[in-house]
Structure 1
């Protein structure tokens, strides 16, 4: 990876330049049987589309606060990088009422209604499917994002020293996030070709680090497993082998 990278968006650009075809996020939902694998290029395309939605249609600006009410999911990872690409601060575990925008899964819609700004809902269905009927008061992400542009350029360059993420009650700048992600990757022994399996949620720094930022910062990839508690020990071991997992959290 490029040692000059100072923002999460920089990390993604470097990964795209180095090897766009390699896997970056492999997602399992063991409640539905879903498996999705996103290469760096495919992931970056989703990030670009989502960032264009955020900056263009939703009018979000650098420094705006976005309450992220999503579980560990490939689309959650996309939203974290889309926020970082636009300078929007992703807030995890904070009250939606205090945010400028909110992004919610199907299980947190009532909580999300306390946000008076733009509200976006994700059905979290297999293949990125939409809601059968859009929730009242929300834009359906799966309806809005496909028509967005495949390339993204921020209206204002992202300042590495500005806030990027609020999690565990602490605020990290873009620069601090990259430094911490690299430190976590080093502590776990992650490097190019490493493949980390994570069953952690996205509600803590350790979850988003293991499930996205540390692999991205080190040239590794992640096997992100939701509802893995429904797997037997044998099934999880088989997945570890079939996905060529080198590290597990």
Structure 2
């Protein structure tokens, strides 16, 4: 499958557009009653910090392989964006020959078998994982804040990025492809739909749209109105 020309540049243009906006880009309601909102600017700040962490700790770049064992979550999506913008191949926990495993369950068999582990808490405002970690695992919440807010990825790096799943590869261009649902539109995405569904919805949200991660059972009509949801991912 050939890579779309200019996909890396398109990704970073989108990042620049989002960074200039204070409107919501990602709202996480998946772990009620917590509500976490990331504006476009804050989303890109976290994205940049995560890119700095992945580069400094593991040298993630074109040719790197990053496995993710985590739900759709406000901490995880900027991490995946960071890995992609650095040019990594990203996929689920069983991704072969992964250089790094990002996990919300550092006690899992997959984490125990992996030499490089980044442990991510799902607690709303935690500044550390909050529980003892296996030897060698890096505490994401404790480490990521030290990195700069400026996104330093280059288009040529990001061109190499892809998502691998079930033996198939989605190039960065394919992840980005798709129309916007109107200026400022908000899309409800069930968290149980998975990380890939949330990622593609976010990447296709345009310069001013937003993704609202919903808990099991979906949002109430009151919350849909409050979050200005215009449609839901089936």
Normalised to the residue count of structure 2, the TM-score between the two structures is 0.85
Distance 1:21 1:191 in 2: 18
> Which deviates more, 169-178 or 72-81?
169-178
Is the alpha carbon distance of 1:21 and 1:5 closer, same or farther for their aligned partners in structure 2, counting shifts above 3 Å?
Answer: farther
Q: Distance in 2 between matches of 1:106 and 1:132?
A: 12
Equivalent in the alignment of 1:23: 24
Spell out, residue by residue over 1:47-84, the C-alpha distance to the aligned partner (whole angstroms, 9 max, x if none): 00000000012222222000011101111111111012
- Tell me what 2:129 maps to: 131
Q: 1:159 and 1:50 mapped to 2: Cα distance?
A: 15
Q: Please state if 1:223 is matched with 2:212.
A: yes
Residue 13 of structure 1 corresponds to 16
Q: Summarize the alignment of residues 171-186 of structure 1 with structure 2, pairs less than 5 Å apart.
A: 171-179=169-177, 182=178, 185=179
Q: Which moved more, 1:137-146 or 1:162-171?
A: 162-171
Instruction: Verify the 8 A CA contact 1:106 1:124 in the aligned structure 2.
Output: no
Q: 1:156 to 1:21 in 2, by over 3 A?
A: closer
- The 1-side partners of 2:53 and 2:154 are apart by 13
Cα pair 1:167 1:204 within 8 Å, conserved: no
Structure 1 residue 119: Cα displacement: 0.8
| Residue 152 of structure 1, CA deviation | 2.8
Please tell me whether the aligned partners of residues 26 and 38 of structure 1 are also in contact (alpha carbons under 8 angstroms). yes
| Cα contact 2:18–2:207 (8 A) shared by 1 | no
Residues 109 and 144 of structure 1: CA distance in aligned 2, closer, same or farther (over 3 Å): farther
Check 1:163–1:44 CA distance in 2 against 1; reply closer, same or farther (3 A cut). Answer: closer
Secondary structure, aligned partner of 1:29:
coil
Measured after TM superposition, the shift of residue 175 of structure 1 is: 2.1
Is 1:214–2:217 an aligned residue pair? no
Deviations 1:139-194 (A, max 9, x none): 1101110111111313783252x242113432122223222xx2xx35xxx12211
CA distance in 1, matches of 2:38, 2:141: 17
Determine which structure has greater relative contact order: mean sequence separation of CA pairs < 8 Å that are 6+ residues apart, divided by chain length.
2
Q: Which runs of 5+ in 1 are unaligned?
A: none
Q: Using the TM superposition, give the Cα deviation of residue 204 of structure 1 relative to its aligned residue in structure 2, in angstroms.
A: 6.3
Matched residue, 1:77: 77
User: Cα RMSD between the aligned structures?
Assistant: 2.5
Judging by fraction of residues, say which structure has more helix. Answer: 1
- The number of residue pairs the alignment matches comes to 226
- 1:240 pairs, out of 224, 230, 233, with 224
Alpha-carbon contact 1:97-1:115 (below 8 Å) kept:
no
Confirm or deny: 8 A CA contact 1:201 1:207 kept in the other structure: no
Q: How does 1:42-61 map to 2 (within 5 A)?
A: 42-61=42-61
- Structure-1 separation of matches of 2:139 and 2:187: 31
TM-score calculated relative to the size of structure 1? 0.80
**Contact 1:98-1:115 at 8 Å conserved across structures:** no
Structure 2 gap segments, 5+ residues each: none
